[in-house]
Structure 1
């Protein structure tokens, strides 16, 4: 039995929890009236942001459950359940999901992303939605992570997308180590998931300026003062 191999299990559970936090809206969607205050609305959001987040949660939980099952089965192989699991879930002669530098990098990105988004949820409270909107009795929040950058939840989104991609498909993962990435269908799946995450990053960059204009129009001088005090959008001192 390898203690090192088993040590990956709590990390995988942590990855699942962090992604679930980052991908779950903390509040119900805003009304159409609140969304319309953005102008023409944000029609790409439900299709390009909310949908992949929801799909990703279920897929990630399934994939990491399979990885945990393989780890346990390889460490305790002398029973019918382990033998069946390995026969179904392993396509190579080398079934060894492991903690690798790529996995640790992905875990680090996910840890940062999940925590940043959680703090953003806490700071905005009922005002935080995945859809761009001005809510009834909206106030300008300048505390917590919003005292460092103007769009911290998008920083968290970027970190989360990078992290989960590394953990899912990088060396040491179940898909990589157990031969599944050699299948064309799984390769297509990897491309689709990576593309969905890339689309989220694209939406992030395309929405920031529009959101800034919307908030400046809504709050005027108060927003101008905040933007002067917090000039960076995503990363303090860089961008």
Structure 2
């Protein structure tokens, strides 16, 4: 969860308005801070609830445990069914790997990393680190993380599934909201990538052409 929090938090303050590229409806949506707040709030809440329920199920005699179970386990749910599964482990690996890639991008870009599509003053083309493998590795990391979150939150054995959360109206609303944010951000980034390439090509010309020839893939080496 700490990794998720770090890589969904802008590492630098937003760039000055005059440095931003002309904004579109998509760009206005993608740079909304509320998107990351929604994901972080739901993820932290789900993680905390799962931890509390697991601890409470192992100390059933405590009045506090009974109170936790009564409030966080819903009709038809059984906390004893929370367990490790192959899907959960896949999700955990995907989250960890995705967070690492995105953190490595933070380090490689330094002050140049923003959540906006922008060219900063004295901008330079970064081609080392993760950018030696694909041109948009930060998006690779984010997509891997979002995929892992989906595996963790809605797979059999998870708190949301086994404790009846997804059978409640609020649970369904939160799941739908989270899925909507994650899927729209993923699609938005896929649309944004060509625009980002065009922006960098205009700014760096032959240097970008050489890099694009050497690193032809956007997010997945050998695939896309």
Query: Which range, TM-score by smaller chain?
Result: over 0.9
- What stretches of structure 1 move > 4 A for 4+ residues in a row? none
Hey, what does 1:27 align to over in structure 2? 12
Q: Is the 8 A contact 2:139 2:219 kept in 1?
A: yes
Hey, what does 1:5 align to over in structure 2? none
Hey, what does 1:137 align to over in structure 2? 122
One of 68, 76, 81 as aligned partner of 2:51: 68
Q: How many correspondences in the alignment?
A: 220
Hey, what does 1:104 align to over in structure 2? 89
Hey, what does 2:158 align to over in structure 1? 173
Q: Which runs of 5+ in 2 are unaligned?
A: none
Report Cα offsets for 1:16-62 as digits up to 9, x if no partner.
Answer: 12211221111111111111xx2345322233xx3221221122111
Q: Map 1:115-154 to 2 at 5 A.
A: 115-154=100-139
- The reply on whether 1:80 has 2:80 as its aligned counterpart is no
The separation in 2 between residues aligned to 1:54 and 1:111, in whole angstroms, is: 20
Residues 33 and 89 from structure 1, CA distance in 2 versus in 1: closer, same or farther, beyond 3 angstroms?
same
Q: Is the 8 A contact 1:30 1:129 kept in 2?
A: yes
Hey, what does 2:34 align to over in structure 1? 51
Offset of 1:185 from its aligned partner? 2.8
The separation in 2 between residues aligned to 1:62 and 1:184, in whole angstroms, is: 17
One of 72, 79, 88 as aligned partner of 1:89: 72
Q: Is the 8 A contact 1:22 1:113 kept in 2?
A: no
Offset of 1:94 from its aligned partner? 1.7
Hey, what does 1:161 align to over in structure 2? 146
Residues 231 and 93 from structure 1, CA distance in 2 versus in 1: closer, same or farther, beyond 3 angstroms?
closer
Report Cα offsets for 1:57-110 as digits up to 9, x if no partner.
Answer: 122111110100001111122211111111111123521321111211111111
